[in-house]
Amino acid sequence: MTRSPDGRPSPVVSLQFDRVDRRYEPGAPLTARYRVEGLGDEPIEAVEHSVLWYTEGKGEEDLGVHFFARVEGEAARPGDGTITFHTRLPASPLSYEGVIVKVRWCARVRIFFRAARDFVSEHVFEVGRLPPARLVTAEAP
């Protein structure tokens, strides 16, 4: 069992994508399954899982949620089994490794505990096959 910075037990979310390399084409179907361990007896309020893109870099973080689901109450406790969800990815945005703007796709699992704390597990995957940007000028064709 792992511990959070404030000493309380932390859950561990093991999430697998249906593609081992985690690379998807825009418009492709995505399936993910996850298992949560280390919940202990702490009562949970809800569990959410989502597929979203977010920006990272020098700017304020923006995000766009493509798929979202929430389960309330103790029915949300995943128990011993895995939870699976499916979605079809949109045509854009593609994953992009820019200089001051990066676009990332991820699946997030968020667990809300009754004790007014929540835990987020993020799992990045790629959409598209774009090379990283760079700062130098390209040669003339």
Partner 1 sequence: MRLPRVFGKKRGHRRTGSQIWGTVGDAAFHAALLLAGIVFGGLLVSGVAVPEWRINHDYLPARCTVVGKRIERRVADRLPGAWHAALLLRYETDGTVREAWAWPEPAAGAGDRDQAVRRLAAWPLGDEVPGWYDPAAPGTVVLQRGYNWWMWLLALLLPGALIAFGGAGLLRAARRWGKSEEHRAASAGLPELLDPLAQRPRASQGHPTVPCCDDLVNSPGTILRYRLPIESPENWTLLGFGLFALLWNAVLTVLAVQAGIDLLGGRRDWLLFALLLPFAIVGIAGIAVFIRGIILASAVGTTQVEIADHPLRPGGSYGLMLAQAGSGEFRELSLSLELEERATFRQGTDTRSERVVVWRQPIRVWQDVELSPGTRFEAHATVRVPPTAMHSFASEHNSVRWMLVVHGTPTRWPAFQRVFPLVVFPPAAEAAEVMR
Partner 2 sequence: MNSMHGAMLPPEFASDTRPGNPFATRYTRPGAIPPLDRHGIPLDVAALASRFEAVTAAAIEGPHGHGKSTLLCALAATLHAVGRPVTIVQIRDWHDACTACIAIVTAPRRTAVFVDGWERLGLLAGPMRLVARMLRRRLLITSHRPAGLPVLWTCATTPALLRAIVARVPDHGGVVNEMDIDAAFQRHGGNIRETLSDLYDTIERRSRLPSTALPS
State the SS3 of 21-40: CCEECCCCEEEEEEEEECCC
Nearest to 72 by CA among 46, 48, 50: 46
| Chosen from partner 2, partner 1, none, partner binding at 71 (C-beta under 5 to 8 Å by type) | none
- Angle of CA points 29, 32, 36, to nearest 5°: 165
User: Should residue 65 be labelled a site residue for partner 1 when binding is judged by CB under 8 A?
Assistant: yes
| Chosen from partner 2, partner 1, none, partner binding at 117 (C-beta under 5 to 8 Å by type) | partner 2
Beta bridge partners of 108: 50, 122
Give residue 45's Cα distance to chain centre: 20
Minimum CB separation of residue 75 from partner 2 in Å reads 21
User: Should residue 44 be labelled a site residue for partner 1 when binding is judged by CB under 8 A?
Assistant: no
Q: For partner 1, which stretch binds (CB under 8 A), given 32-40, 73-81, 86-94? A: 86-94
Please report, as residue ranges, which positions from 79 to 98 form the binding site for partner 2 (by CB under 8 A).
97
Q: How far is CA 117 from CA 6, 15, 80, 88, 120, in A?
A: 11, 21, 22, 31, 10
Footprint on this chain of partner 1 (rule: CB under 8 A): 2, 4-5, 10, 22, 25-27, 48, 50, 52-53, 55, 57-66, 68, 70, 90-94, 96-101, 103, 108, 110, 112, 118, 120, 124, 126, 128-135, 137-138, 140-141
